Amino acid sequence: MCAAQPYKIVTLRSGARSVHSVADAETFHPGIGPVAEAEALYVRQLRLPERVLETSGEFVLWDVGLGAAANALTAIRLVHESLATTRGVKRLRLVSFDHTGDALAFALQHRAELGYLAGYEIAVAALLETGSTRINDPVLEVEWTLNLGDFPSWLKRGEGLELGTSPHAILFDPHSPAKNPAMWTASLFADLFRRLDPQSPCALATYSRSTMARVAMLLGGFFVGVGHPSGLKDETTMAANRLELIDEPLGATWLQRVKRSGGAEPLREPVYQQRPLSPETWEQLQRHPQFSSP
């Protein structure tokens, strides 16, 4: 008997093709499709083309949850297209994180069906084989590194700084809190925030609008706001180390809703459970600069 395949190609309601993880029972970019969602949720919301153009030197982008690389490749493609009429060469350091490269290997095998790998097949194959690759042309030089392993443990150890300097932007796209709770704990966001350079603006975008995830980000040190709609989500989430990077910060009305919620307490351990805010967490939120400022 043949073993079940860990991934399969599915057709979404929009007509786009995407990758479905059988083991996790989750479809990547299940709403409007991989490219459209990556563009709306990550590239446009984080203003990646504009920020790469404005940054002198190297722009560092962390891709947390590589998956089948739709986010990473869409970012590369759209940044490249935005630079087509500019002079000079911009440099992008892309650092992708995942516990496995299997989904990307599957996507490469099914590149014709997915479409978004077109033109980057050689680079993706090199990334999977050696853990790094370069994409060079007259306007954009990309150095792309793949870091396989346990991301929370990597952050906790504080190792691997040679993978790149502090990020300017983060694509945060792991599986959902219910399926992958270790990636949504308050301690993970605290460890992530400590990796940021206080002197360098950094913004993070994610598809989740989970209250417990937003509280975890706030406790970690981030400013947090409502993100643009994307696919099946009427809201997403933005976080940053500078309040001015957030277009719609969470405010007093949200804070009062959180106090009444039965599922706002952030995950303290990598075990998914929903609980109301503890008195200690409520006090911490009230002291956060986003809510305590006059």
The three state secondary structure string of the chain is CCCCCCEEEEECCCCCEEEEECCCCEECCCCCCHHHHHHHHHHHCCCHHHHHHHCCCEEEEEEECCCCCHHHHHHHHHHHHHCCCCCCCEEEEEEEEECCCHHHHHHHHCHHHHCCCCCCHHHHHHHHHHCEEEEECCCEEEEEEEEECCHHHHHHHCCCHHHCCCCCEEEECCCCCCCCHHHHEHHHHHHHHHCCCCCCCCEEEECCCCHHHHHHHHHHCCEEEEECCECCECCEEEEECCHHHCCCECCHHHHHHHHHCCCCCCECCCCCCCCCCCHHHHHHHHHCHHHHCC
Q: Look at residue 149 in the predicted model and tell me its pLDDT.
A: 94
First to last CA, the chain: 67
Fold of 37-292: Rossmann fold (3.40.50)
| pLDDT recorded at residue 160 | 59
| Neighbour tally for 10: CB within 10 Å | 13
Please list the residues that pair with 26 across neighbouring strands: 21
pLDDT of residue 1: 41
The pLDDT tens digits along the chain (294 residues) read 445 689 999 999 989 999 999 988 889 988 889 999 999 999 999 999 999 999 989 999 999 999 999 999 999 999 999 998 888 899 999 999 999 999 999 999 999 999 999 999 999 999 999 999 999 889 999 999 999 999 999 998 876 555 557 999 999 999 989 989 999 999 999 999 999 999 999 999 999 999 999 999 999 999 999 998 776 678 999 999 999 999 999 999 999 999 999 999 999 999 999 999 999 999 999 999 999 765
List of residues 6+ apart from 126 with CB closer than 8 A:
132, 133
Dihedrals phi, psi of 188, to nearest 5 degrees: -65, -45
Q: Is the pTM of this model over 0.85?
A: yes
Looking up tokens 């409520």, which residue turns up?
Answer: 282
